[in-house]
Amino acid sequence: MQQLSTLARQLAAVLMIGGVSALAQAADSTSAAPVQTVAAAKVTDDATITSQVQAALQQDKGLAAVAVSTTAGVVVLNGSVSSADAAQQAVKLAMTVPGVKDVKSEIKVGG
């Protein structure tokens, strides 16, 4: 009878350890999901920023050919414009878009 009681306690201990292990694995899998969601949201924000900067530049005929890329809220402008004033205007327009942290201009004047 004592052996049966000891066996029952050992079995209960094994089941509890297995349950704790399963709970730990479940917690790990749920904590990974928000990180992926945040990363996806960041990409969407960059894409939205790029689209909004492009739309702003399209409003000015002299800036329509400027290419835009965005990484982590930092906008990079590429292309060529007719004047230094136009290049500065492109930077100013990009800075007005919500979510833009900085603007790097690689715009060439002339040519």
Distance CA 94, CA 104 (A): 10
23, 66, 80, 95, 97 from 75: Cα distances, Å = 43, 12, 16, 9, 10
Report, as an integer, the average pLDDT of 13-38.
Answer: 54
For residue range 33-66, what is the model confidence (pLDDT) as tens digits?
555 555 655 555 999 999 999 999 999 999 999 9
Backbone phi and psi for residue 56, each to the nearest 5 degrees, phi listed first = -65, -40
Please report, for the chain, the start and end positions of each structural domain, with discontinuous segments joined by +.
2-109
pLDDT greater than 80 at residue 14: no
Distance CA 7, CA 4 (A): 5
pTM: 0.62
Q: What is the per-residue burial (b if ≥16 Cβ within 10 Å, else e) of 29-61?
A: eeeeeeeeeeeeeeeeebeebbebbbebbeeee
CATH among 3.40.50.720, 3.40.50.300, 1.25.40.10, 3.30.1340.30 for 2-109: 3.30.1340.30
Contact 74, 94 (CB under 8 A): no
Only one residue has tokens 């990079």, namely 76
pLDDT band at 106 (very low <50, low <70, confident <90, very high): very high
Residue 33 confidence (pLDDT): 53
pLDDT band at 110 (very low <50, low <70, confident <90, very high): confident
Residues paired with residue 71 on neighbouring β-strands, in sequence order: 74
Residue 91 confidence (pLDDT): 97
What DSSP line would sit under 27-60, residue for residue? HHHHHHHHHHHHHHHHHHHHHHHHHHHHHHHHTS
